[in-house]
Structure 1
Amino acid sequence: MNEPTVLIVARAPVPGRAKTRLAAYVGDETAARLAGAALLDTIDAADRTGWPVCVAMTGSLADSVMSAEIEEALSPHRRIGQRGGGFAARLAAAHSDADRGGGVVQIGMDTPHVRPEVLRAAGRALTRHDAVLGPAHDGGWWVLAVRDASHAECLRDVPMSTEHTGELTRQALRARGARVADAPALTDVDTWADALEVGAIAPDTRFGRAVAGLRDGDVG
């Protein structure tokens, strides 16, 4: 099996459009900066796998915070646009567009604490399984690795962003006949409580330092 592609599905950290649940507590600009830090940490983790990296981006980096730093981090890697009418359709299309014959290890930008060895373990598991799914603590999932990008087509019929998305995705993969392995569970950053938890887990990341720099009086 060829090396898989690490696919990051990302949204440009534009204030008012990035991390809106988090923004309700910390404000649009701060939420966008936390999202930018998370994206940079995610790119770094993907890069450190040593595998090809592809970023499927939506939104305008020209209007985002930290745009120059993000552009520099993206420069060694392939970048594609997201296409499709809804998030599930965009995920399925991104798998197809990113795959170069070695399978895909897909993550978002909500787990800045992910380590490259965890991504590599998910990719290596594709030698024995058709798919690898990493559950998120909120009931969704944070990583989906597939040996054949066509397996991601099942996402089109899965409701996204619900407390049952992870289990429904697993069922949809198995309905296609896929042998599904598990990756470790991680916390997705959606709320300020999530940000505090992940910042404490990974204090040396950009995200962790950004969270630590927010004093109580700065939030809100």
Structure 2
Amino acid sequence: MSKPVLPPVRLVVMAKAPLPGYAKTRLIPALGESGAAVLAERLLRNTLAEAVKAGLGTVELHVAPDSQHSFWQSFELPPEIKLYSQSEGSLGHRLWEAATSSRIEGQGLFLLGTDCPALNAERLRVAAVALANTDSVMYPAKDGGYTLLGLKRLAPRLFEDICWSTEVVAQQTLDRLQECDMDCQQLEVLADIDDPEDLQFLPKTLSDTLVVSG
């Protein structure tokens, strides 16, 4: 059976360079600086592969510290993916700048990070189907954040006064969506890999050879 034709969606992936001591720092107690960086790169590559595999539209990688950093200059990207620098400022400001950087009117938008290996191509397509019938979609995270936010239209208020990296991010974002008179379809709750206790949700394909300290 052929896949349904979906309206095009622009996938914006936010990522830090997977460098020791810079990325996945909350996993350092379990994996060490080098191990945390190795996992960060595996999660990055997995996210990009699934985003391309979903076949929904343009995939953009918005990076820190910036696209001219030596890591990103030597990082081999699939040809379908465009590389951008993240702006300075709070996460809310960086998300807003990334969301509006190359916006096409009428095109759906997905904002996602690289922390959720469960956010595979199939779930991305499920979100695209949902977004075709509502104003916004969200895959909430087990920790109270979200692993994906899908939007049909943009408003700066969606990213303002959010207590980022806390357990209230998803609820505050839902409140902002309501303020902006936007419906939201919430999809299944997924696990981000942020803290040592989250490593239980890591697929074996990504955890292989990682050494976890007790």
Tell me how far 1:82 sits from its aligned partner. 1.0
Identity of counterpart residues, as a percentage? 27
User: How do 1:104-123 and structure 2 match up within 5 A?
Assistant: 104-123=109-128
Task: Tell me how far apart the structure 2 counterparts of residues 73 and 198 of structure 1 sit (CA, whole Å).
Answer: 26
**Residue 83 of structure 2: aligned partner:** 79
Tell me how far 1:60 sits from its aligned partner. 5.5
Tell me how far 1:97 sits from its aligned partner. 1.4
**Residue 142 of structure 1: aligned partner:** 147
Task: Tell me how far apart the structure 2 counterparts of residues 214 and 157 of structure 1 sit (CA, whole Å).
Answer: 37
Given candidates 24, 28, 32, the residue that maps to 2:29 is: 24
Given candidates 28, 37, 43, the residue that maps to 2:42 is: 37
User: Aligned pair 1:95/2:99, yes or no?
Assistant: yes
Q: Is the 8 A contact 2:7 2:132 kept in 1?
A: no
**Residue 60 of structure 2: aligned partner:** 54
Q: Is the 8 A contact 1:159 1:165 kept in 2?
A: yes
Q: Secondary structure at the match of 1:137?
A: coil
User: Aligned pair 1:194/2:198, yes or no?
Assistant: yes
Task: Tell me how far apart the structure 2 counterparts of residues 203 and 170 of structure 1 sit (CA, whole Å).
Answer: 33
Which structure 1 residue ranges, 5 or more long, are not aligned? none
- TM-score of the two chains, using structure 1 as the length reference: 0.85
Tell me how far 1:43 sits from its aligned partner. 0.2
- TM-score of the two chains, using structure 2 as the length reference: 0.88
Given candidates 202, 212, 217, the residue that maps to 2:208 is: 212
Q: Secondary structure at the match of 2:77?
A: helix
Change beyond 3 A, Cα 1:67–1:84: closer
Q: Secondary structure at the match of 2:21?
A: coil
Deviations 1:61-103 (A, max 9, x none): 7554x984xx223443111111141111111111111433312
Tell me how far 1:112 sits from its aligned partner. 2.0
User: Aligned pair 1:180/2:184, yes or no?
Assistant: yes
Greater helix fraction, Structure 1 or Structure 2: 1
Task: Tell me how far apart the structure 1 counterparts of residues 21 and 172 of structure 2 sit (CA, whole Å).
Answer: 30
**Residue 9 of structure 1: aligned partner:** 14
Change beyond 3 A, Cα 1:193–1:140: same
Deviations 1:132-188 (A, max 9, x none): 11110011111000011x236421221111111111111111110001111211111
Q: Is the 8 A contact 2:63 2:86 kept in 1?
A: yes
**Residue 3 of structure 2: aligned partner:** none
Given candidates 158, 163, 170, the residue that maps to 1:166 is: 170
Task: Specify the code of the residue in structure 2 equivalent to 1:191.
Answer: D
Q: Is the 8 A contact 1:103 1:146 kept in 2?
A: yes
Task: Tell me how far apart the structure 1 counterparts of residues 87 and 157 of structure 2 sit (CA, whole Å).
Answer: 14
Task: Tell me how far apart the structure 2 counterparts of residues 72 and 169 of structure 1 sit (CA, whole Å).
Answer: 34
Cα RMSD over matched residues?
Answer: 2.1
Q: Is the 8 A contact 2:135 2:182 kept in 1?
A: yes
